[in-house]
């Protein structure tokens, strides 16, 4: 077994690197001694012993629109049934998977809290050793598990909170990452609504460039994550993830950051606006706009309560650190929950102002990425070579048909996303929401709200 001394970075060095990095990077040769590296799907099937998981089922078809979770189907099944489906065994029943031919569909048991999945096998939490990266006490309790078939994917999105460490255990995944400054090129949307996730309206591997003209200006960073590698995803980097092999397993942990307290205010504001407008829309089907990760539509009273909790927690924390609460922004409000990311109505976490100490990560220091000593054990994720968006699509989909011209005129607004008769088209609820809860608008609302309360 590899000793700590034989690893390329000790915990203090690894954490310093993470706190300094401003771009995605791979850590190599850091986890070969982790017991979690034996978590193959066969091994987990034996451990779970018939326990059912929820699998998201999607179509393998190539479409110009993202395949959001609200457009998928869901199956409750065991890992043994999942394996039978993958292997195409004729003498065993794949259960509900039999309705979904492997050649046409993919399956993803995504976002499984290890603390819940293995609640009766708590000793397994120690198999995940994030302390090697400078976070003492962080293990499987603070991690999530992802089990997918080939072509399983997560739509392009950014996480509102923290940064991300991702361990690849089995199979390979391709990550398409975009820096925060590309946000306007990715046409952010909060429909479908999921607390803490801002989705892109663009299918980044097969974009509709007539509708989303600015996407051609996006700067993708692409990397294939292999078993034993750990990917660091900085704060607010967009990412689309797809499974490349017959079965893939990943484990990740979101690391809290100092600005997460303000982000919680923004998320509470977003939830309030989205729920209010969609609930008032008589043509809105909840299943079409509320992600399966959300328990239910929350009432206006509940959402307003969450806003008040988030604002008060943010201001209390700031005042604790500095007399001038405006200067105190950026100090973290730590959550009492051990879950790695606030989902499924976990907004009550804003009530907590207790710091978790070692789990708090300092804000990255601007400009330090260039001082990081990259090498054989720390590999930067490179920006994709200069190519048109259509060229990128062709390389992914295998479509080598002649590309349409990408030299169409652009305007400063979303003219590329409007039909020719847009002057006669009525504005929909979703279009209105995409303006009202745009990340830039929510950021401004958060600043105004905190400024007003700071002056009282």
CA dist 164 to 167, 340, 400, Å?
Answer: 10, 10, 35
The whole-number pLDDT of residue 403 equals 38
Q: How does residue 88 score in pLDDT terms, banded at 50, 70 and 90?
A: confident
- Helix ranges (H only) for 76-188 are 79-87, 114-117
Q: How does residue 357 score in pLDDT terms, banded at 50, 70 and 90?
A: very low
Q: How does residue 380 score in pLDDT terms, banded at 50, 70 and 90?
A: very high
Instruction: Give 42-59 pLDDT, tens digit per residue.
Output: 999 999 999 999 999 999
What length is written for the chain?
456
The whole-number pLDDT of residue 405 equals 36
CA dist 26 to 39, 54, 140, 144, 366, Å?
Answer: 20, 30, 20, 19, 20
Nearest to 22 by CA among 340, 331, 372: 372
**What value does the mean pLDDT of the chain take?**
85
Q: Within 13 Å and on the Cβ side, how many CA atoms surround 21?
A: 29
CA dist 95 to 50, 52, 81, 327, Å?
Answer: 13, 12, 6, 57
Decide if pLDDT at 327 tops 60: no
d(CA 238, CA 202): 12
For the chain, list the domains and their CATH numbers.
8-257 (2.60.120.650), 260-363+427-454 (no CATH)
Decide if pLDDT at 263 tops 90: yes
d(CA 179, CA 218): 9
d(CA 76, CA 69): 15
């Amino acid at each position: 077994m590899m000793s700590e001394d034989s690893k390329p970075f000790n915990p203090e060095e690894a954490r310093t690197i993470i706190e300094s990095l401003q771009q995605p990077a791979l850590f190599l040769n850091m986890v070969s001694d982790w017991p979690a590296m034996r978590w193959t799907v066969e091994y987990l099937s034996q451990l779970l012993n018939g326990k059912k998981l929820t699998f998201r089922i999607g179509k393998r078809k190539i479409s110009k629109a993202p395949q959001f979770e609200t457009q998928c189907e869901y199956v409750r099944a065991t890992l043994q049934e999942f394996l039978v489906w993958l292997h195409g065994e004729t003498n065993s029943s794949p259960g509900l998977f039999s309705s979904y031919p492997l050649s046409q569909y993919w399956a993803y048991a995504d976002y499984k809290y290890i603390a819940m999945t293995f609640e009766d096998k708590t000793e397994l939490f120690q198999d995940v050793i994030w302390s090697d990266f400078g976070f003492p006490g962080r293990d499987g309790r603070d991690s999530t598990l992802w089990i997918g078939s080939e072509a399983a994917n997560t739509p392009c999105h950014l996480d509102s909170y923290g940064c991300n460490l991702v361990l690849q255990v089995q199979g390979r995944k391709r990550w398409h990452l975009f820096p925060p400054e590309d946000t306007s090129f990715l046409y952010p949307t909060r429909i479908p609504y999921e607390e803490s996730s801002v989705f892109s309206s663009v299918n980044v591997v097969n974009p509709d460039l007539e509708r989303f003209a600015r996407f051609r200006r996006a700067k993708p960073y692409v990397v294939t994550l292999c078993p034993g590698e750990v990917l660091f995803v900085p704060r607010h980097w967009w990412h689309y993830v797809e499974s490349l092999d017959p079965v893939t397993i990943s484990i990740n942990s979101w690391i809290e950051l100092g600005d997460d307290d303000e982000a919680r205010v923004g998320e509470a504001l977003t939830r309030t606006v989205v729920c209010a407008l969609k609930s008032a829309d008589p043509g809105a089907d909840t299943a079409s706009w509320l992600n399966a990760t959300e328990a239910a539509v929350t009432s206006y009273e509940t959402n307003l309560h969450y806003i008040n909790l988030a604002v008060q927690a943010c201001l209390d924390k700031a005042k604790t650190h500095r007399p001038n609460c405006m200067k105190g922004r950026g100090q973290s409000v730590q959550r009492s929950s051990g879950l790695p990311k606030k989902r499924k109505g976990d907004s009550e976490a804003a009530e907590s102002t207790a710091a978790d100490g070692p789990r708090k990560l300092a804000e990255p220091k601007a400009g330090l990425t260039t001082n990081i000593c990259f090498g054989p054990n720390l590999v930067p994720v490179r920006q994709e070579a200069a190519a048109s968006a259509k060229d990128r699509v062709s390389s992914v989909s295998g479509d080598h048909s002649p590309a349409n011209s990408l030299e169409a005129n652009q305007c400063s607004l979303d003219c590329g996303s409007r039909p020719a008769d847009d002057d006669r088209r009525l504005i929909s609820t979703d279009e209105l929401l995409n303006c009202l809860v745009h990340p830039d608008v929510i950021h401004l609302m958060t600043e105004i709200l905190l400024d007003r309360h700071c002056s009282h």
